[in-house]
């Protein structure tokens, strides 16, 4: 039981030696042979079909003041990725958040990255089949309930510097540049460095719109029950920055999308604009396991039927008022003619 608790706290990286799983010959395709949960029905990541998402009124995240302060992190090559954990040797206040549809206060656990071999692959989640160059996971835990939550941001990179315009994320890119610069010191497993970073700066300012679903850890033991938040807006990087990860650490370290099965993906913004009309047909059929997603379809039917009912009610009410008006007018004319 104690070992299990340690595994959860360190999240993505279980208490096993690095050679028991990897992204090569012991990669994602065979993880389930050694870790049965990796073949579960609520696995992450997923391909988000935006046309199939449902709107839910989710309040924005509230980042507690310590979120915006500099903290000392131990940044380590753990044999699978680069993981950053707050250094306990320093007296530091807990980095916390509330809101965002989460129950209670969640404490920061770690952040880590996933990336691929080029600027068109590397993100674990996909959006309508589109992959990004990488994905950043900020992991939090509610210590009262042991509920884990992961906030994910896509990394989009450009080789052409002119495509990157000055925006509100300049400070974010500068903070990440300090992170990328030290990757030269993390070439081997267990290499680590001490780095002071600001979590708020690393996340950037585009945290308003997001998708939400229940999933799992994206590496063994693939524990399920994780609350996922995937922000719609990526952080823009220069391709040279991600190349530092590929050249100095690993070539790639990501898991591909897993079947959604009967899970629902919610969005906190009212109007979905990324999908074309034909994409809506995919909401009724799951191409990954070739079974109809009846439950998913029924959720959509129930959700949108209330708007349809309201529209039909208004039309019928208008027709009734029209008929009543014509009837009363006729009665009035008859009454008037009678007294003339």
Q: List, for residues 110-159, the tens digit of each pLDDT value.
A: 999 999 999 889 999 999 999 999 999 999 999 999 999 999 999 999 87
324 has a pLDDT exceeding 90: no
In this structure, what token pair is assigned to residue 205?
Answer: 């300012």
Q: Which of 193, 200, 148 is nearest to 175 (CA)?
A: 200
The residue with greater pLDDT, 92 or 154, is 154
pLDDT recorded at residue 151? 98
pLDDT recorded at residue 175? 92
326 CB-side CA count, 13 A: 5
Q: Identify the residue whose tokens are 């990440």.
A: 176
Phi and psi at residue 50, to the nearest 5°: -65, -30
Q: How far apart are CA 69 and CA 81, in angstroms?
A: 25
Rg of the chain taking only CA atoms, in angstroms = 25
Q: Assign residue 225 a region: left if phi > 0, alpha if psi is -120 to 50, beta otherwise?
A: left
Quick: pLDDT tens for 271-320.
888 766 555 556 654 444 434 344 444 555 555 555 666 777 788 888 88
Q: How far apart are CA 218 and CA 266, in angstroms?
A: 20
61 has a pLDDT exceeding 90: yes
249 CB-side CA count, 13 A: 35
231 has a pLDDT exceeding 80: yes
What does each C-alpha distance from 10 to 24, 27, 112, 138, 253 come to in angstroms? 22, 20, 11, 12, 18
The residue with greater pLDDT, 166 or 267, is 267
pLDDT confidence of 14, banded at 50, 70, 90?
A: very low
3 has a pLDDT exceeding 50: no
The residue with greater pLDDT, 6 or 253, is 253
Other Cβ atoms less than 10 A from the Cβ of 1: the count is 4
Q: How far apart are CA 82 and CA 197, in angstroms?
A: 15
41 has a pLDDT exceeding 50: yes
In this structure, what token pair is assigned to residue 265?
Answer: 């993906």
325 has a pLDDT exceeding 70: yes
327 membership: H or E segment, kind and range: helix 294-338
Running DSSP on this structure, what letter comes out for residue 123? Answer: -
Q: Cβ distance 225 to 214 under 8 Å?
A: yes
**Burial grade of 134 (CB within 10 A; 0-12, 13-18, 19 or more):** buried
pLDDT recorded at residue 30? 95
226 has a pLDDT exceeding 50: yes
**Angle at the Cα of 280 (from 287 to 302), degrees rounded to 5?**
105
Average pLDDT over the chain, rounded to whole?
84
115 CB-side CA count, 13 A: 24
pLDDT recorded at residue 281? 59
Phi and psi at residue 235, to the nearest 5°: -90, 130
Q: How far apart are CA 141 and CA 109, in angstroms?
A: 7
pLDDT recorded at residue 292? 39
pLDDT recorded at residue 139? 98
pLDDT recorded at residue 5? 44
pLDDT confidence of 165, banded at 50, 70, 90?
A: low
Looking at mean pLDDT, say which of 5-19, 122-136, 161-175 comes out highest. Answer: 122-136
11 has a pLDDT exceeding 70: no
Task: State the virtual CA torsion across 118, 120, 124, 129 in degrees, nearest 10.
Answer: -160
pLDDT recorded at residue 52? 93
For the segment 20-32, the average pLDDT, to the nearest whole number, is 91
For the segment 204-223, the average pLDDT, to the nearest whole number, is 96
Q: Identify the residue whose tokens are 């996933």.
A: 114
Phi and psi at residue 103, to the nearest 5°: -90, 115
Q: What is the pTM of this model?
A: 0.78
């Amino acid at each position: 039981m104690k070992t299990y608790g340690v595994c959860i706290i360190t999240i993505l990286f279980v208490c096993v030696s690095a050679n028991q799983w990897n992204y090569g010959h012991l990669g994602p395709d065979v993880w389930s042979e050694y870790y049965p949960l990796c073949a579960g029905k609520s696995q992450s990541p997923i391909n988000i079909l935006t046309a199939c998402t449902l709107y839910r009124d989710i309040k924005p995240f509230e980042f507690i003041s310590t979120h915006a302060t500099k903290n000392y992190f131990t940044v380590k090559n753990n044999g699978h990725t680069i993981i950053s954990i707050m250094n306990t040797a320093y007296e530091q206040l807990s980095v916390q958040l509330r809101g965002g549809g989460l129950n209670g206060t969640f404490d920061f656990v770690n952040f880590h990255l996933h990336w691929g071999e080029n600027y068109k692959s590397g993100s674990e989640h996909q959006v309508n089949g589109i992959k990004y160059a990488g994905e950043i996971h900020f992991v939090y835990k509610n210590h009262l309930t042991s509920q884990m939550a992961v906030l994910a941001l896509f990394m989009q990179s450009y080789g052409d510097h002119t495509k990157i315009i000055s925006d509100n994320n300049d400070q974010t890119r500068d903070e990440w540049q300090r992170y990328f610069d030290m990757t030269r010191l993390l070439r081997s497993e267990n290499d680590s460095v001490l780095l002071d970073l600001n979590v708020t700066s690393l996340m950037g300012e585009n945290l308003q719109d997001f998708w939400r679903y229940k999933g799992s850890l994206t590496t063994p033991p693939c524990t399920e029950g994780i609350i996922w938040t995937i922000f719609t807006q990526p952080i823009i990087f220069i391709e040279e920055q991600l190349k530092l990860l590929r050249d100095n650490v690993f070539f790639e370290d990501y898991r591909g999308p897993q079947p959604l099965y009967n899970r629902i993906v919610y969005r906190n913004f009212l109007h979905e604009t990324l999908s074309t009309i034909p994409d809506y047909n995919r909401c009724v059929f799951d191409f990954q396991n070739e079974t109809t997603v009846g439950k998913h379809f029924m959720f959509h039917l129930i959700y949108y039927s209330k708007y349809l009912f309201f529209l039909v009610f208004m039309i019928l009410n208008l027709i009734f008022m029209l008929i009543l008006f014509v009837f009363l007018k006729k009665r009035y004319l008859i009454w008037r003619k009678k007294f003339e």
